[in-house]
Structure 1
Amino acid sequence: MGYRDGIIAGKEASAQEGFNAGFKKAVLGGYKWGFVRGVASALTGLPDSPRGKLAERIEKKDALWKLCETQKDLSSAGATASGEEGPGQLGSYYGELNRSAAGFRGGGAFSLNSTIRSLLASGRPQEALAHFLDGHRRGLARLDSFTIPPLLKLSHALRLPLFYAEHLHAVAVKGGHLADLFVRTGLVELYFQGGRLTGPRNLFDECPRGDAALWTAMISGLSRIGRAEESLGRFFAMVEQEGIEPTNMTAASVLSACAQLKEPGLGKGLHGFLLRGGLLDEADAILETALLDMYAKCGEMIYARRVFDKMPERSNSGVAWNSMITGCSESGLYQAALELLRGMLSSTRLRPRWGSLSAALGICGATADLRKGKQLHGYILKAGSNGPPHADGLAQGNAVVHMYAKGGCLRSATALFGTMPRRNVATWTALMSVYGAHGLGRRALEVFGEMKQSGVEPDGVAFLALLTACSHCGLVREGEALFQSMELEHNIAPEMKHFVCMVDLYGRAGLLQEARDFIERMPAEPPKFAWVTLLASCRNHKDLRLGELAAIRALQLDPREVGVYLHLSRMYADAGRWGEVAKVRTSMKEMGLSPATACSWVEVRGKVHRFTVGADHMSGHSARIRRVIKSVRQMMTKAGLLRVKAAFDHHVGEEENAEDLCGHTEKIALAFALTEWGGWGVIRIGKNLRVCRDCHEMFKFVSMNSGVEILLKDPNRYHRFGQGSCSCLDYW
């Protein structure tokens, strides 16, 4: 900032060393040193004629020029060693230069502007405002090209309404100060910070030729307000048409725009451009973090990890750690995200941001890993007021309730809810969701009534949770009443996801024609998910004719929707139409489509074990797992519970089909858990796909035969098995 004051005073940039030291140290000593070197160098570089006009008295001129010459003996090391307020050469030069500046024409305003910048740089905007008002009373504050830029920064620091920016804009236009690029750039930045688009766009387009700072302000501002494509377009115009070299800040802004578009190919091209341009030759934490964040948001976690591992100062960059943790979480790399969080807490002194902890809590809930979830809960409680930045107690409480709810621990979720002193709509929605996921739809409706009585108004997400609860519990009439009340009573316009949820409500209840009629009456074109939802219900209720119609409509909207082919294939298999099954499978193969890989996981003795289709499941345990599955199948056959049906997508013999029925990953996870189970606690199993009816029957049989309680979580809901029955009452 001191260097910039020097440039403003003399209109010539010639103190890069002062710039570097002032910004690196970020202390008042660095500011003063940059100020002295910048102003002195700029003044000595002026021609004699304009230099003579700055001071009226000869003795002032002589003192000033002598000072400008002798300050060259002050080194950066000596300057920064002087400290913030310490004595020495720096303090002497700074004081003398300010005193000399008082003899300038307009020197009072110059000193006022410098002090305002100094106070803003040290994070004291209120003092800066008081100083400006005092200068204004003394007649020192003049609204010119020197004063407007610091006032724009002051306006932003104090979060003043944009009315003040518009007033300064009018003053700049009236006084002809828009020719000064500092003024124009400051206005562009401030308008963007207020969410405006037209104002900064006009300011930029009316400028005959901008510099790198103005272009960067435009590119970063567009990226900040979500205009990523326009931001990239401006960047290419800056480089290709204007021939202006981008700065590191420009590059960081355009990488952010690329991250919004989630275009990894474009991001890689920009990475190559930065390498060729030498912008990555020296370590720059801001630019490297922007590059890492771009790859993470584009789902390219291998590239993000490479950037992260090469960052020399990542132990000091909390943003880099948080970007990696969040990126891994969003990419489904749950274990990697938790390992990164553990590494951040153990190997650095950084505190994770709330976004990272929230993502980790979500992972623990999604994977039903309550052990790690409880550890995170303990960390948050222990941190207390010194906890993660950007979090408040309500947000933390909501996230922990969600974690326990998703992890299947209904008792802990409800207990924590009861202790929360404040509750908002997200808190109530979390509780309604957990009741719905556990098949307690009527209890969810009771909570909804309690929420309204407490004075909290529902939102669209709350209604989505309620409609889902009604769908999972067969509460058709209650769901219809809720849907109608959204607009009539709460003035909430239903979104497409609410319409699709109603289709699911009718479909699960077997009201397939009502579901189709509801789709046809939608106010907008029905999305493919509406038809896929109807197709899944047709498969469950064995309506092949309507299922084929739903499949055709869904494929018209998206010919590459894998779920349509899978549902259709299984419907044909259920009907014994193996020729049609083969045609569907051939179409998938020709289009290069493949279903998601089934994966299940179970926690045994504090460790989470994963099982996927086709994998050699822990070779040392494979034989025991097979024996358990075979034994259970034999007992189910004797009891008349194992029915070998044409339930798969290929025509095989009865013996092979029976083997296949017991080969699903949730069964493997259960068999492994039974071999290692110590006879206490609940066996908690998670699966990334919906559980099939055959696996559901096996879990009920095991709970009856062994007396073990099993909690199975799939993407739709929880199934709690005990004494031969399931909490879903076979309705899911």
Structure 2
Amino acid sequence: MNYSQQLLSSCKTIETVKQFQAYLSKIGLGSDPYFAGKFLLHCATAIPNALHYARQLFIHFPNPDVFMYNTLIRGFSESDTPRHSIDMFIQLCRNSLALPDSFSFAFVIKGAANCRSLSDGIQLHCQALRHGLDTHLFVGTTLISMYGECGGLEFAREVFEEMAQPNVVAWNAVVTACFKGGDVQAADIMFGRMPVRNLTSWNVMLAGYMKAGELELARKAFLEMPVKDDVSWSTLIVGFAHNGCFYEALGSFRELQRVRMRPTEVSLTGVLSACAHVGAFEFGKILHGLIQKVGFFWIVSVNNALIDTYSKCGNLEMAQLVFERMPEKRSIVSWTTMISGLAMHGHGKEAIRLFHYMEKYRIRPDGITFISILYACSHAGLIEQGYEYFSKMKNLYCIEPAIEHYGCMVDLYGRAGKLLKAFEFVSQMPISPNVIIWRTLLGACSIHGNVELAQQVKERLSELDPNNSGDHVLLSNIYAVAGKWKDVATVRRSMIDQRIKKTPGWSMIEVDKIMHSFVAGARQNMIVVEAYEKLSEIMLRLRDEGGYVAEVGSVLHDIEEEEKEDSISKHSEKLAVAFGISRLCEGKSIRIVKNLRVCRDCHTVMKLISRVYALEIVVRDRSRFHTFKNGSCSCRDYW
């Protein structure tokens, strides 16, 4: 018997499981309830993709006991189809030879929680009451968690209050439920009432604060924690990254290393996400080395984060290298991330080629993959291919297009100058277009100077989001380029009357592993003064050697020409590149991240700098990557 158990535990795939089943049948133990139960448990919880096989075995087993039912209920509750756990529980209740126990209820209630089905959860609660198991500590704790997941905060608190002696697990569950219900104050009160707090309690509070966006409370809780584990650090780093506090995420990871805590898969993916957002290429390279050193290079999620980081930091070659050298089987996320990276850099045909390879390897694309491939077609001007993939998504893969897919198609037509086609596409959408769809079309009107359509689109946007500064500025620029200065003044006056402020443009550059941010017109310090001085020198050289003439078409007409040139010369990306030239070693690429779309004048200046100074400049703006080299840009002036 011990030998058979050892054989079972060594089974790691469904093929070896089938061989073991044949062995059991051969030695006469195929119908033994003990071995059948162990066999089902192993298939349902330890072998990937073996749950369906376990169910088939269960169906053919005569008179299954409650343990066997519980095994499948548990397996399905934690699977992608948790609804089946409720079906199995119903079968158990109809079986006259087996009665549900506390494990049955705990597992099926978890299934209802994963279904986010409050109605099923309430019915199961009633069943637990009927069987006298609602006050069972295990069942009660799972009920609290279920109500928290399904938005029934008051029910969760009632169950907790009715528990005779709640343990620390129950306390943690009710605090979690308060956070999920959006009641941070209630979570604070319950945490304060806890008679005993363990490390999990503190981590629950930390995670709750982070998800609620209460960063100061999260930071305070972290500092007050008597003991911190890898979950605490990972929660802090990922929380900062998800809340847009990227510098804090990078700083927290440095502190994790300073206190000699070993990084985990979660903390590494979190800090790599922060690097990707701010374009911290050098920091990302250090993390890559650390990943190799600690032996995490085989983890798929870490490699996916590395691909994303290198892509968003402007080094596509390193992203491709990580992708090609992944030791484990690539996931759909791996393929999609690489396709997205190629798309961001304007390599539409390469992205399509990789998509075809993915299909060849029988990796089924999902909705996010199609967003990436449509984005690639849009930024490379591949109109026919884009429409082909949009149709393929629906007709071949049966993926119903979401608002993001429609947005990609509008962008595809708009960038190519087919504005009426884009407007017609929006008008015929089976779902109501949102602000992003209309804003995409307004941006296309700006690129191609279609004032009449821009006015129609702006009217729609005013109904949906009347106070968005970007829409007003974009319409103002469209009027300015068309020479409609009275309309420009009307838009600007409207912004003043409605107290709508323009979103300030900022650009960031990494120098000596430190991120420096520049904002036009911001308060000056030594770094900014240095950037301005170098920029004056650069602009003078561009006029003398590059024949630079400022593009001032969209600058207000009621100021002098010299002031117009001075206005656009101080854009944040120009300051960032000037600082890079001042500080970085000769021959080193300059990488800049900008929060807004690069303007035409800055685009021209970057091309000239790349030729006159023999530099490679990589700029990531809100829309895509621009790699400037030898006087030209990778976008081929199509952005």
TM-score, normalized by length of structure 2? 0.79
Q: Which residue of 1 aligns with 2:143?
A: 218
Q: How does 1:23-102 map to 2 (within 5 A)?
A: none
Q: Gapped runs of 5+ residues in structure 1? A: 1-115, 126-142
Q: Which residue of 1 aligns with 2:385?
A: 478
Pairing 1:252–2:172 present: yes
Q: Which residue of 1 aligns with 2:154?
A: 233
1:463 maps to amino acid: F
Contact 2:535 2:578 in 1 (8 A): yes
Q: Which residue of 1 aligns with 2:312?
A: 406
Give me the whole-angstrom Cα distance separating, in 2, the residues matched to 1:605 and 1:348.
23
Q: How does 1:76-225 map to 2 (within 5 A)?
A: 156=74, 162=85, 165-166=89-90, 169=93, 186=106, 189=109, 191-192=111-112, 195=115, 197=117, 199-205=120-126, 207=129, 211=135, 213=137, 215-223=140-148
How big is the shift at 1:684?
1.3
1:328 maps to amino acid: F
Give me the whole-angstrom Cα distance separating, in 2, the residues matched to 1:460 and 1:183.
37
Give me the whole-angstrom Cα distance separating, in 2, the residues matched to 1:345 and 1:156.
38
2:334 maps to amino acid: T
Pairing 1:397–2:303 present: yes
| Cα deviation 1:317-368 (Å, max 9, x = unaligned) | 222211111111011111211221222233144442x232112222223333
| Cα deviation 1:379-402 (Å, max 9, x = unaligned) | 222222xx49xxx63333333222
| Cα deviation 1:55-103 (Å, max 9, x = unaligned) | xxxxxxxxxxxxxxxxxxxxxxxxxxxxxxxxxxxxxxxxxxxxxxxxx
Give me the whole-angstrom Cα distance separating, in 1, the residues matched to 2:364 and 2:611.
44
Report the CA distance shift for 1:195/1:625 in structure 2 as closer, same or farther (over 3 A): closer
| Cα deviation 1:420-479 (Å, max 9, x = unaligned) | 353343333233222222222122222222333333333222221111111111111221
Contact 2:109 2:124 in 1 (8 A): no
| Cα deviation 1:651-707 (Å, max 9, x = unaligned) | 433222211101111111111111113212211111122211111111111111111
1:357 maps to amino acid: L
2:156 maps to amino acid: F
Q: Which residue of 2 aligns with 1:270?
A: 186
Report the CA distance shift for 1:221/1:602 in structure 2 as closer, same or farther (over 3 A): same
2:429 maps to amino acid: M
Q: Which residue of 1 aligns with 2:369?
A: 462
Report the CA distance shift for 1:204/1:489 in structure 2 as closer, same or farther (over 3 A): closer
Give me the whole-angstrom Cα distance separating, in 1, the residues matched to 2:497 and 2:172.
42
Out of 436, 453, 456, the residue aligned to residue 546 of structure 1 is 453
- Would you identify which runs of 4 or more consecutive aligned residues in structure 1 move more than 6 Å? 148-151, 157-161, 242-247
Pairing 1:642–2:549 present: yes
SS at match of 2:396: helix
Contact 2:608 2:631 in 1 (8 A): yes
How big is the shift at 1:220?
0.3
Q: Gapped runs of 5+ residues in structure 2? A: 1-36, 47-64
Q: Which residue of 1 aligns with 2:254?
A: 342
Contact 2:458 2:475 in 1 (8 A): yes
Q: Which residue of 1 aligns with 2:5?
A: none
SS at match of 1:420: coil
Out of 269, 272, 292, the residue aligned to residue 381 of structure 1 is 292
Contact 2:168 2:196 in 1 (8 A): no
Pairing 1:652–2:566 present: no
Contact 1:192 1:222 in 2 (8 A): no
Report the CA distance shift for 1:616/1:288 in structure 2 as closer, same or farther (over 3 A): same
Pairing 1:324–2:230 present: no
SS at match of 1:559: coil
SS at match of 1:490: coil
Give me the whole-angstrom Cα distance separating, in 1, the residues matched to 2:245 and 2:512.
22
Give me the whole-angstrom Cα distance separating, in 1, the residues matched to 2:597 and 2:190.
45
1:520 maps to amino acid: S
Give me the whole-angstrom Cα distance separating, in 1, the residues matched to 2:93 and 2:180.
31
Give me the whole-angstrom Cα distance separating, in 1, the residues matched to 2:154 and 2:498.
34
How big is the shift at 1:515?
0.6
Give me the whole-angstrom Cα distance separating, in 2, the residues matched to 1:517 and 1:534.
11
SS at match of 2:442: helix
Contact 1:259 1:293 in 2 (8 A): no
Give me the whole-angstrom Cα distance separating, in 1, the residues matched to 2:163 and 2:103.
23
Q: How does 1:560-599 map to 2 (within 5 A)?
A: 560-588=467-495, 591=498, 593-599=500-506
Percent identity (aligned) = 31
Q: Which residue of 2 aligns with 1:293?
A: 207
Pairing 1:446–2:341 present: no
Contact 1:152 1:186 in 2 (8 A): no
Pairing 1:609–2:516 present: yes
Out of 569, 575, 579, the residue aligned to residue 662 of structure 1 is 569
Give me the whole-angstrom Cα distance separating, in 1, the residues matched to 2:209 and 2:493.
35
Report the CA distance shift for 1:244/1:689 in structure 2 as closer, same or farther (over 3 A): farther
| Cα deviation 1:625-663 (Å, max 9, x = unaligned) | 223222333444555532352424684332222111011
1:433 maps to amino acid: S
1:304 maps to amino acid: A
How big is the shift at 1:509?
1.1
Q: Which residue of 2 aligns with 1:632?
A: 538
Higher relative contact order (CA 8 A, sep 6+): 2
How big is the shift at 1:713?
1.4
Give me the whole-angstrom Cα distance separating, in 2, the residues matched to 1:485 and 1:194.
31
Contact 1:191 1:199 in 2 (8 A): no
Q: Which residue of 1 aligns with 2:419?
A: 512
Give me the whole-angstrom Cα distance separating, in 2, the residues matched to 1:393 and 1:303.
33
Report the CA distance shift for 1:717/1:247 in structure 2 as closer, same or farther (over 3 A): same
Give me the whole-angstrom Cα distance separating, in 2, the residues matched to 1:255 and 1:577.
59
Q: Which residue of 2 aligns with 1:673?
A: 580
| Cα deviation 1:126-164 (Å, max 9, x = unaligned) | xxxxxxxxxxxxxxxxx9xxxx89995997499898476
Contact 2:480 2:554 in 1 (8 A): yes
Pairing 1:368–2:276 present: no
Report the CA distance shift for 1:592/1:324 in structure 2 as closer, same or farther (over 3 A): farther
Greater mean deviation of Cα atoms: 425-434 or 695-704: 425-434
Give me the whole-angstrom Cα distance separating, in 2, the residues matched to 1:571 and 1:482.
32
Q: Which residue of 2 aligns with 1:37?
A: none
Q: Which residue of 2 aligns with 1:710?
A: 617
SS at match of 1:456: coil
Contact 1:700 1:726 in 2 (8 A): yes
Pairing 1:559–2:466 present: yes
Contact 2:511 2:583 in 1 (8 A): yes
Q: Which residue of 2 aligns with 1:333?
A: 245
2:172 maps to amino acid: A
Contact 1:184 1:203 in 2 (8 A): no
Give me the whole-angstrom Cα distance separating, in 2, the residues matched to 1:358 and 1:661.
38
Q: Which residue of 2 aligns with 1:22?
A: none
2:143 maps to amino acid: M
